[in-house]
Chain A
Amino acid sequence: MDWAQSLRIAAPEELLSVAGIILLVASAWGQTRRDARAVTWLSVLTLAVAAIMTAPALWSGVSGADALAFSGLFSGDAFAAFAKLLIYAAAGASLLVAPAFFEKQNAYRPEYPVLVLFAVLGMSMMVSATNLLTLYVGLELNSLAAYVLAAFHKPDQRSAEAGLKYFVLGALASGILLFGMSLTYGFTGTINFAGIATALAGGAISKGALFGLTFVLAGLAFKISAVPFHMWTPDVYEGAPTPVTTLFASAPKVAALALTMRVTLEAFGPQAAAWQQIVVFAALASIVIGALGAIGQGNIKRLLAYSSINNVGFVLIGLAAGTPQGASAMLFYLTVYVAMTIGGFVAVLMLKDAEGNQIESIADMAGLSRTRPLLAAGLAVIMFSLAGIPPMLGFWGKFMVFQAAVQAGMITLAALGIAASVIGAFYYLKVVKVMYFDEPAGKATGRSDMLHEWLLATCTLFISPLGYLITKCLTALTVVAAGVLFPGA
């Protein structure tokens, strides 16, 4: 056992843990606004360094035994690297927007960036897990930090409610997941993904293992907020402070979806037929319920929450295909999704009235195109992109997953999914309609932070038609990353 090798592979996680602990100790002494800002910047710097340390694994396309560390508990392969880069970027962006939001309420503390760092560490472990225990430890580390983050805005009752709801339902989901894992262990005799795959290969799946698989998927479906385990999403997204929602909707989604991919394609890969039907159902149900649920929403955060449920459905179509194309399409979609989500929530953060209070009601956004033309244009691009209307990049994400589904022969699934996407277009259009067609309500007039503006501009440019110019490079990376999950192909 080469410890040096293992430590080198897990270097980004070690950096995150050490930096997290140091900053935690430091924040015990510095509680002023300036200290909090400093800790935030140091955390962002940590994430950037961790990203630089991760990038080579993706570039060189490491896979298989070369990437395994700690006796096969942990893998630093190209797939994990791709997911980590996305997670670090998303977490970094949601950290950057936090200080301005909390300082308005005098609620910013240096613990916030520290908690985010620990959550990111948990996510990092989730996507690198090649063993049910690593998976669980990563998942819980992320979840515990997330429960606190959801309730971080103490004076706000909605925030406390969101934290409690998230905790109770999250604990339940963890229980379901653990139950499934124990069944899986019982019927396969191992907790190692590769071992489970070997045990399940050949012949029909046993009843017990099928139960285990179902429970594991149910637990994971909660984490990615796929229907029918999505109920918590709108409440938590609405209640949590907006920067926290920005994080919840982006980074943990990537982590949980990457984890789901690894569990289904790697551990349960030989029994694809057993989980495909579950995934197909979850995908279509998420698309339809996410779209229908969003229609009546008057709060933009709730609307975006339903939109994220809807988007997860599209990602799952790629998983249902169960092919390398499907997996790479999922990664591509996730990249675009992260940009759209960060952009969307940053735009929500920028909606302020004249006194600088946050605006969350869609009705108050009326006529935004005249009071804040650039903000309205950015939000409109994001909405059209979420709806998957060309020439925005969101279209190409959807295109890729549907292409994978068609190539895998699932034409009915693709046709149903894409037809249901038209329902989604309706409520995205509603936001554009309110901003562009209605008379100005004169509410959202407040000025916004420079940093927010730059973030929104970056995200908007990425998903604008200009984004197509990087599709070549991005697709090549997703193919490398997804290839890791299909060693035979």
Chain B
Amino acid sequence: MAGFPILSLMLAVPLVAAFICLVVDAKTARTVALAATLADLALGVVLWCQFDIGGAQWQFQESKPLFAGFSWKLGIDGIALLLIELSVFLMPICILASQSIEKRVGEYMAAFLIMEALMIGVFAAQDLFLFYIFFEAGLIPMYLIIGVWGGVDRIYASYKFFLYTLLGSVLMLIAMIWMANDAGTTDIPTLMAYDFPVDAQKWLWLAFFASFAVKMPMWPVHTWLPDAHVQAPTAGSVILAGVLLKMGGYGFIRFSLPMFPQASADFAWLIYWLSMIAVVVTSLIALVQHDMKKLIAYSSVAHMAIVTVGLFAFNTQGLEGTMLVMLSHGLVAGALFLCVGVIYDRLHTREIDRYGGLSINMPKYALFFMLFTMASVGLPATSGFVGEFLSLAGIYQQSSLVAFVAGTGVILGAGYMLYLYRRICFGDQKNADAAAMPDLNLREWAMLAPIAAAVLWMGVYPESFLAPMRADIQALEARLASAKPAGDAQLTAGQPAMKTEAHSEGAH
């Protein structure tokens, strides 16, 4: 496998397919898009199989000095591998979920395929500026997806999405230029081991924070997310929640933490406070929503706060938990948006009160919806539990207050998700049109079943997902060790580590 540019191929397949989609008719475009995303999924499977767990940190490396100032440099570690897998896994499902799109199908499919290429590019880029280009370029197709195929307020939402995220990112670019200038290289692995002056780290960290906090999104810069989610078409919401939000978390784990360990430690309090506020406030906001998509959007913000808390725990549990929450949230939030899409396609409303008692006429749907609701809440044996537990266990070593407040997120999460589920699936069939809706068809089965399987797999045997990134997380922890702030948990040294070991062995 060595030397074969599989990552470039994974980028090329959707790009070529995108151009084909632009010139063919609607029906062919759907087929081409599905075929291309499935081909990328197959390549993703090959990638995972060929990934040498415990081998070199960076694998499948490619480097071509094609451009002035930066180069075409790709390569992945375990963290990037998993996020790429998440992207290629969700893409065919998104294409399937887009059956209800009827206007300008070719352009729609092209936008999604370009989006896929850019997402893979973000996770695979090993050159600082190449990363930035992929990172920012994603704005264009997403802007078009929301603006052309979105809901009623799509134009406001598309502007807000674009300008918010652009403003967040441009300062990061200046920081990147400064870093490349100071370190004399744009190679990300080199920069991850480079020690920037402590004074400068502070500013660099803040510039990166501005970008990633918006992408993530963290409270109080999350307000673009509910608008974008609500107005985007179903597949757009899936991609936004499933993958685009993960770019923020990936940014923290790839840039902020390893490149500026000291600044990360100094600013941990900021992250803690913002995350604590986010968990409580956005959960409460979710509780009072009448719009299904908005509710799930706010729940995303709350889940992302658990991610940031775990990231800044500075220990293995926290970081591993963070990665699992990101993967799990990608699957679960994506699946929940699909569930919303299924009934939206039938009744064309997202108003929660217009539904009710769906478990009577749509039992299969209700079952899937139940599973994903439970996964979102964090029920053991679903993917949500593993990640949230590890994250909270990680942060508990650092600050019991943060762990306590973030922990309430799980309870509140159960509150708003179960309340949502009750209003939609249980109770009387108070609306005749909702009661007449048919159950899942084959296409919808094909969308939801794979995600359900992945959610259960990750919940029952998370080792498959932890193994590829274990070495990378440990390397990151070692990098952070010198800067790690003292925790407030006054436990006898050694005991927490033993407990974690016992837990991870128990999961085998």
- Point out residues on A near B: beta carbons under 8 Å: 369-370, 384, 389-391, 395-396, 399-400, 402-403, 406-407, 411, 414-415, 418-419, 421-422, 425-426, 429, 432-433, 436-437, 468-469, 471-472, 474-476
**15 A-B interface contacts by CB (under 8 A):** A400-B69, A402-B173, A403-B69, A406-B174, A411-B174, A418-B170, A426-B163, A429-B162, A433-B147, A433-B159, A436-B144, A436-B148, A437-B147, A468-B66, A476-B68
* A-facing residues in B10-68 (Cβ within 8 Å): 65-68
Residue of A nearest to B106 (CB): A373
CA distance A253 to B174 in the complex (A): 27
Of A399, A425, A426, A437, the residue contacting B173 (CB under 8 A) is A399
* B171, CB-defined interface residue at 8 Å: yes
Q: Which of A402, A415, A425, A472 has a CB less than 8 Å from the CB of B162?
A: A425
Which residues of A lie under 8 Å from residue B129 when comparing CB positions? 399
When C-beta atoms are compared, the residue in chain B nearest to A437 turns out to be B147
Q: Does B154 contact A421, Cβ atoms closer than 8 Å? A: no
- Nearest Cβ in chain B — how far from A82, in angstroms? 16
Q: Which residues of A lie under 8 Å from residue B143 when comparing CB positions?
A: 429, 432
Q: Across the two chains, which residue of chain A brings its CB closest to B136?
A: A390
User: Given contacts A369-B107, A415-B171, A432-B144, could you give 18 more A-B pairs where the C-beta distance is less than 8 Å?
Assistant: A389-B137, A390-B137, A391-B134, A395-B133, A399-B177, A403-B181, A406-B174, A406-B178, A406-B181, A411-B178, A418-B171, A422-B170, A425-B166, A429-B143, A429-B159, A437-B148, A471-B68, A472-B66
- CB < 8 Å neighbour of A402 from B67, B158, B159, B177: B177
Residue from the list B69, B140, B171 in contact with A471, Cβ < 8 A: B69
Contact A415 B174 (CB under 8 A): yes
Set B144, B147, B162, B167: member contacting A419, Cβ < 8 A: B167
* A384-B140 contact in complex given A422-B166, A469-B66, C-beta closer than 8 Å: yes
CA–CA, A429 to B167, complex, Å?
A: 14
Residue from A396, A433, A472 whose CB has the most chain B CB atoms within 10 Å: A433
B280 to chain A, nearest CB (A): 31
A389, B155: Cβ atoms closer than 8 Å: no
State which of A370, A418, A425 has its C-beta within 8 Å of the C-beta of B174: A418
Q: How far is the CB of B59 from chain A (nearest CB, A)?
A: 25
B347 close to chain A: CB less than 8 A:
no
Partner of A472 from B67, B139, B144, B171 at Cβ < 8 Å: B67
Chain B: interface residue count, which band? 20 to 34
CA distance A422 to B107 in the complex (A): 26
- Cα–Cα distance between A474 and B68 once the two chains are bound (Å): 9
Ranked nearest first, the 6 interchain pairs of A and B with the lowest CB-CB distance are A475-B68, A390-B133, A471-B68, A418-B170, A437-B147, A406-B177
Q: What are the residues of chain B within 8 A of A432 when measuring CB–CB? A: 143-144
Instruction: Determine the chain B residues whose CB is within 8 A of the CB of A471 once the complex forms.
Output: 67-69
* Chain B residues whose C-beta falls within 8 Å of the C-beta of A399 in the assembled complex: 69, 129, 173, 177
Closest CB in chain B relative to A280 CB, distance in Å: 16
Name the prevailing secondary structure of the A interface residues: helix
Contacts of B147 in A (CB 8 A): 433, 436-437
- Asked if B421 is at the interface of the complex by the 8 Å CB criterion, the answer is no
- Distance in Å from the Cβ of A426 to the closest Cβ of chain B? 6
**B196 contacts A by Cβ under 8 Å:** no
Chain B 232-263: CB-based contact to A (< 8 A → 1; otherwise 0)? 00000000000000000000000000000000
Report the minimal beta-carbon distance from A440 to chain B, rounded to whole angstroms: 12
Residues of chain A with a CB closer than 8 A to B68's CB: 471-472, 474-476
Cβ B171 vs Cβ A419 within 8 A: yes
Which single member of B139, B159, B171 contacts A389 (CB below 8 Å)?
Answer: B139
CA distance A425 to B167 in the complex (A): 10
- Please state if A402 and B174 are interface contacts (CB–CB under 8 Å): yes
The CA-CA distance from A402 to B207 in the complex, in Å, is: 15
What's the minimum C-beta distance from B44 to chain A, rounded to whole angstroms? 23
Tell me if B170 and A426 are in contact (CB < 8 A): no
Please determine whether B173 and A391 come into contact, CB atoms closer than 8 angstroms: no
A residues less than 8 Å from B167 (CB atoms):
419, 422
Residues in B whose Cβ lies below 8 Å from that of A426? 159, 163
Q: Does B132 contact A (CB under 8 A)?
A: yes
Inter-chain CA distance A390–B136, complex, in Å, is: 6
Known contacts A469-B67, A474-B68, A437 near B177 by CB under 8 Å = no
B158's partner among A369, A390, A437, A476 (CB-CB below 8 A) is A437
Chain A residues closer than 8 Å to B104, beta-carbon distance: 370
Name the A residues within 8 Å of B174 (CB-CB): 402, 406, 411, 414-415, 418
Partner of A475, one of B69, B136, B148, B178: B69
Q: Which residues of B contact A472 (CB under 8 A)?
A: 65-68
Residues of B within 8 A of A476 (CB): 68
Chain A residues, CB < 8 A from B159? 426, 429, 433
